[in-house]
Amino acid sequence: MTLRLRLTKNQQAAIASANAPTLEADENVKEDFYAQLETILSETPTEDKIILMGDFTAHVGRDSDLRKGTIGKEGVVKSNSNGILLLTKCAEHELITNTLFQQKEKFKTSWRHPWSKRWHLLDYVIVRARDRSDVLLTRAMTSADDHWTDHRLIRSTMKIKIAPKWRL
């Protein structure tokens, strides 16, 4: 799902929500998902902002030296194959994830494994690297009602000016 939001006379924001296939999903399903994501990213004009958010079932790790400009040092655990797919797509389009903010582990992690009860970072808010300064903070909301889901809500605070309504 994609929403276009007018920011200024010459700029819009493409706000997209995504739910990636799981790690165990068929490779064709993963390829289809990333092809659809590629369509959204490539059709968004370069002057526009991109805010991509969703459950990517991806561990991106914290190796910011290997993935300079794509992730920060504040990731969680090692990367997995879905994480590599996501980071590759981010690198192709100069996007950056929510691994930039130093905070307690409980504010980074978004999904609780049903058997081990360990928390993992699977949900991301992703923007263009040049718009990184617009993102003030991205964190998991630990106080949100989590009785009906194994995911925490992710909140991203951004400073973006929206165009005023024109009066006739």
pLDDT at 65: 63
Place of tokens 């609780």: 112
Query: By mean pLDDT, which of 16-20, 44-48, 83-87 is the weakest?
Result: 83-87
pLDDT at 83: 86
Question: Does any domain span residue 163?
Answer: no
pLDDT at 51: 94
pLDDT interval class at 45 (50, 70, 90): very high
CB 16 within 8 A of CB 40: yes
How many residues are given for the chain?
Answer: 168
Question: Does any domain span residue 168?
Answer: no
Question: Does any domain span residue 167?
Answer: no
Question: Does any domain span residue 95?
Answer: yes
Domain total in the chain: 1
Question: Who wins on pLDDT, 65 or 62?
Answer: 62
Check which CATH number belongs to the domain holding 60 and give it: 3.60.10.10
Instruction: Write out the residue range of the structural domain in which residue 60 sits.
Output: 2-158
Question: Does any domain span residue 151?
Answer: yes
Q: Tell me: pLDDT of 67 over 80.
A: no
Question: Does any domain span residue 74?
Answer: yes
Question: Does any domain span residue 154?
Answer: yes
Contacts of 32 (CB under 8 A, 6+ apart): none
Its sign, for the CA torsion 147, 105, 138, 31, is negative
DSSP codes joined into one string, 6-22:
EEETTEEEEEEEEEPPP
Q: Which two tokens stand for residue 28?
A: 């064709």
